[in-house]
């Protein structure tokens, strides 16, 4: 089968030879990444269109408590609803791209940047 678009993505982007997810669906995968837990430990949070309970700790929120500025591009948590007392996406504010993230006011915050290798 010829796959010119997929071939171009692999050539110009990042190609993962051995990548695994804990669940073959978006919401449980995002919940697992945000919390660092397997989706089967997250109860109803691992269902599509579920609730992310306010008492479930996430890495971005813990980083924010430690003084780091976090954010995301495109989709982070969801689809689903945020449980109280959460009022915003636990991944931080949405940015149009990495450049906009770097331009955002970070006064009093530390930046934790990941470098592509």
Evaluate if residue 19 carries a pLDDT over 80: no
- Predicted confidence (pLDDT) per residue in 42-97, tens digit: 988 888 888 999 999 999 999 888 888 888 888 888 888 999 998 888 988 889 98
Evaluate if residue 107 carries a pLDDT over 70: no
Name the residue with higher pLDDT: 48 or 114: 48
Under 8 Å between Cβ of 85 and 54: yes
Rg, the chain, Cα only: 16
Under 8 Å between Cβ of 64 and 70: yes
| pLDDT for res 116 | 47
Name the residue with higher pLDDT: 104 or 116: 104
Q: What distance in Å separates the CA atoms of residue 101 and residue 90, rounded to the nearest whole number?
A: 16
The answer, as to whether pTM is greater than 0.75, is no
């Amino acid at each position: 089968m010829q796959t010119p678009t997929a071939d171009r993505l692999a050539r110009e982007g990042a190609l993962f030879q051995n990548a695994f997810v804990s669940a073959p669906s978006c919401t449980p995968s995002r919940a697992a990444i945000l919390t660092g837990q397997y989706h089967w430990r997250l109860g109803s949070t691992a269902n599509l269109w579920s609730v992310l309970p306010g008492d479930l700790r996430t890495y971005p929120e813990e980083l924010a408590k430690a003084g780091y500025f976090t954010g995301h591009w495109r989709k982070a948590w969801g689809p689903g609803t945020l449980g109280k007392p959460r009022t915003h996406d636990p991944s931080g504010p949405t940015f149009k791209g990495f450049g906009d993230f770097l331009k955002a006011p970070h006064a009093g915050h530390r930046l934790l940047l990941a470098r592509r290798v």
